[in-house]
Amino acid sequence: MRSPDLSVEIAGVRFPNPILPASGTFGFGEEFFEIYDLNVLGGIVTKSLRFNYFPGNPQPRIYETPCGLLNSIGIPSDGYEYFKIHHLPFLNKLSIPKVISIAGNSIDDYVMLIEHLNKDDGIDVIELNVSCPNLEKEGKTFDSDKEVLIDVVRKVLSESSYPVFVKLSPNTNIIDNAVLVEELGADGVVIANTLLGMAIDIEKKIPVFKNIFAGFSGPCVKPQILRLVWQVADRVNIPIIASGGITNFKDAIEFLLAGATLLEVGTANFFNLYTMPEIIKGIEDYLIRNNISEIGKIIGFARKENIL
């Protein structure tokens, strides 16, 4: 058969295939561009951008576990002006969709950032990271408070010239939050940011990280995130972007069958630089073996209504 069509479309944006890097694991792509042509990807998701410079958390920031990775990076950022001068020109050289992840310490931070990004060329989608601490609410994440979540999503959607995907935390009531952001008009929902974990230094006898808890990611979280994608797909009609534990094409196929439209690969990029191109090739070969002409035919195929 001919090469299958791997493309998917969300809110008028055509992604040539469903594989993108997860925010925070790929920088702005410059380093990986030296390794392979990024245009083979379905799109690129940048590390989360803040309006102003922000240093992030103190060291240590990374801690390896036998089955995953703990990170307490703190979403450092050089700020919007640096991004516009140093990163956006590179991104605009790519032919694939550009998804700009945004973060903030307050709702005003998000609004100011969107107002500036609206003036830029070459941006296709905004990924609204609401899993970061809201310094106006004692450091609680934006999606841990329903009213705050409504406020930030509504204001970003009203200001944005681009489609908006909302990235939610699995450490809150993520299913209800997914329903909420759909009701507010989001174009897609990202399931999910990192789980919470921790580690203790047995020699110092104190937690490894200053903030005690850290984001937990890697192959071990895949069954949990796959379950969340399945449950969210039961409740919403907007596209789901799955992120969590995807390391090979078999993982990718599972998430597609469960109802995800796009897939973000994160921690796996650290232990195999070619993970994403290999997954894309694996998906294509799978479709050929199963005589499936286009990827859309398997999205959500394993859903309950398809089980006899």
pLDDT digits (tens, 9 = 90+) for 241-300: 999 999 999 999 999 999 999 999 999 999 999 999 999 999 999 999 999 999 999 999
**Is 277 inside a domain boundary?**
yes
Domain annotation covers residue 106: yes
Place of tokens 């100011």: 112
Question: Which pLDDT tens digit goes with each residue over 195-242?
Answer: 999 999 999 999 999 999 999 999 999 999 999 999 999 999 999 999
User: Could you tell me if residue 205 is inside a domain?
Assistant: no
Question: Which amino acids are annotated catalytic?
Answer: 132
Query: Total structural domains in the chain?
Result: 1
Is residue 229 assigned to a domain?
yes
Domain membership of residue 70 (yes or no) is: no
What is the phi-psi region of residue 104: left when phi exceeds 0, alpha when psi lies from -120 to 50, beta otherwise?
A: beta
Q: Tell me the pLDDT band of 305, cut-offs 50, 70 and 90.
A: low
Q: Greater confidence, 2 or 219?
A: 219
Say which CATH number the domain at 247 has: 3.20.20.70
Summarised one tens digit per residue, pLDDT across range 170-204 is: 999 999 999 999 999 999 999 999 999 999 999 99
Q: Is 118 helix (H, G, I), strand (E, B) or coil?
A: coil
Average of per-residue pLDDT across 56-61: 96
Collect all residues with Cβ–Cβ distance below 8 Å to 305 and sequence separation of at least 6: none
- Which of these ranges, 126-140, 146-160, 245-259, has the smallest mean pLDDT? 126-140
Residue 140's pLDDT is: 83
Residue 203 lies in a domain: no
- For the chain, what percent of residues have pLDDT higher than 90? 94
pLDDT at site 308: 42
Does residue 154 sit within a domain? yes
Cα–Cα dist 119/236, whole Å: 31
The pairing of strands 213-217 and 68-71 is antiparallel
Contact 254, 225 (CB under 8 A): no
- Decide if 226 is inside a domain: yes
List the domain range (segments joined by +) for residue 231.
8-56+75-196+219-306
Q: pLDDT class for 306, splitting at 50, 70, 90? A: low
